[in-house]
Amino acid sequence: MDSKNTLRCLCKQRETKELKVEGDLGADPIWCNRCNCNLEIEEVPISLDLKSELIHWMGKYGEWIDWDNDDEIVPNGIKFEDEHNKQGLELTNKLQKELGGDYVVIFSPSSFARRNACK
Ligand SMILES: [Zn+2]
């Protein structure tokens, strides 16, 4: 059956209703939580507004990383990351609302800055 509301991925059942929002470089912000594949945000049945919010959010991923300096964190990096995680959680809630009860959406916060601050 090919319904418009079916999200296909690499899972055995080839459609997923378990999604994860996670920031990563050069990827789309929505993942299948079963097989960890990166889903095309274009295929996710949500509003354009929310899509662009998610893409914008993704574009800010890594602002706390100092790429020129061995991937150290920038000053106040933990604060940036916390803020980004807070927004990500809000977007996850919006996503869950738009997708409705058929889907389960979880948020996977970034912990790069925290991990690296403890070195
Ligand atoms: Zn999958």
Tens digit of pLDDT for each residue in 60-114?
999 999 989 888 999 999 999 999 999 999 999 999 999 999 999 999 999 988 8
Judge whether 80 lies within some domain.
yes
Judge whether 8 lies within some domain.
no
The boundaries of the domain holding residue 56 are 18-117
pLDDT category of residue 52 using cuts at 50, 70 and 90: very high
Cα of 101 vs centre of ligand 1, distance in Å, is 18
Judge whether 54 lies within some domain.
yes
Cα of 46 vs centre of ligand 1, distance in Å, is 18
- Angle 36-92-62 from CA coordinates, rounded to 5°: 70
Look at residue 1 in the predicted model and tell me its pLDDT: 43
SS3 assignment, position 96 = helix
Judge whether 4 lies within some domain.
no
DSSP type of residue 25: T
Write down the mean pLDDT value for the chain. 91
Residue from 46, 49, 28 nearest 102 by CA = 46
